[in-house]
Amino acid sequence: MNNIRKLTYEILEIGNKQHMLGRVIDIFLIALISLNVLFVILETLPSISADNHLWFHRFEVFSVLVFTLEYIARVWSAVEDDERNHHQPFWGRIRYMLTPMALIDLIVILPFYLSMVITGIDLRFMRVLRLLRVFKLTRYSSSMSLLLQVLHRESRSISAALFVLFMLIIVASSLIYFAEHKAQPDVFSSIPAAMWWSIVTMTTVGYGDVIPITAMGKIMASIISIMSLGIVALPAGLLASGFSEALRQRRRTYEKMVNLAIQDGV
């Protein structure tokens, strides 16, 4: 029994490249998650959804069953992890269940079972929860986990840049509100409404649904959009340089490992 549990753990969590079965299961799960995301998206197309309602439902039941089995297998074999205590079958598993990845695994299957017990849950809300399955891919994507690492490491400087951006948004919204409120009382009805304009302008999206028309408003908008060029580049620049730095570091680590392996071989 313990051998099977060890094997389950190795196949599911370690991503052991020697295990042929581990790779097959990984590919199967990635394909299933991708199909799930694709199907939630396609289901919103009336032309496709109408005729294939039954098939969508069957696929959903199948997916939930697989994800439930996967979840049970992961929780059951979690105690094989040396970092979680071996000899604490109950608390070790509870601790595993509280990790972010395990919580996502639970959240994406729970609604299905809840909808059987409780009736009248909003279908659209159910779909949002089903789409969260896309985050199950994080486990298999090294780039996603790298980005999360970078966000964690650079969190101080990025939040500093975001704070500056936030203050500029407040000041910009207030200024444009006081400049345009009289000329366009419907569009710039309040500072929160003016914030929509500020964000659309400062991110340079510029839909054109809300535009200053007074001379004063246009002068302010000009100054704000030129200033925001620099402010908005701050978080983007910090994230990009952090990401490329982390990629370079990982490559170096990988090369070092290869070199060590070669030396050991000698």
Task: Say how far residue 176 (Cα) sits from the centre of its chain.
Answer: 34
For the chain, the distance separating the N- and C-terminal CA atoms, rounded to the nearest angstrom, is 39
Residues 6+ apart with CB under 8 A from 77: 5, 6, 8, 9, 12, 13
Least Å distance, CB 154 to a copy of itself, is 9
Q: What is the nearest approach in angstroms of a copy of itself to the Cβ of residue 18?
A: 23
Which of 41, 61, 65, 114 is close enough to bind a copy of itself by CB under 8 A?
Answer: 41
Residues in 99-128 that interact with a copy of itself by CB under 8 A = 124-125, 127-128
DSSP for 195-263? HHHHHHHHTT---SSS---SHHHHHHHHHHHHHHHHHHHHHHHHHHHHHHHHHHHHHHHHHHHHHHHHH
216 belongs to the binding site for a copy of itself (CB under 8 A): no
* Residues 171-210, mask of contacts with a copy of itself (x by CB under 8 A): x-xxx-xx--x-------xxxx--xx--xxx-xxxxxxx-
Q: Any contact of residue 136 with a copy of itself (CB under 8 A)?
A: no
Beta carbon nearer to a copy of itself, 6 or 248: 248
Angle between helices 191-202 and 155-180 (to 10 degrees): 120
**31 near a copy of itself, rule: CB under 8 A:** no
Does residue 247 touch a copy of itself according to CB under 8 A?
yes
Q: Between residue 221 and residue 240, which ones bind a copy of itself under the rule CB under 8 A?
A: 222, 225-226, 228-240
